[in-house]
Amino acid sequence: MRKGRVLRATFGCNPNSSSLGVDVTFLLLGATFASAIALLLGTFLRRPTQP
């Protein structure tokens, strides 16, 4: 069975009247970095909870 994927990630909370549009910090790092982060997040999501 195909493994699940993380499609999008937004970090932090938005306290504002308008939505969080651009986190400059992350957008600067490009598509390759985003793909790597997606894989990492997927791995950490799946990891079983430590007893």
Site string for another protein, 25-44 (x = CB under 8 A): xxxxxxx-xxx-xx--xx-x
Smallest CA-to-CA distance from 9 within 28, 34, 29, 32 is with 34
Number of residues forming the site for another protein (CB under 8 A): 45
Q: Which residues of 7-19 are buried (b: 16+ CB within 10 A; e: fewer)?
A: eeeeeeeeeeeee
Output the smallest distance, CB 1 to another protein, in A: 7
Indicate whether 48 belongs to the interface with another protein (CB under 8 A): yes
Q: Which residues bind another protein (CB under 8 A)?
A: 1-31, 33-35, 37-38, 41-42, 44-50
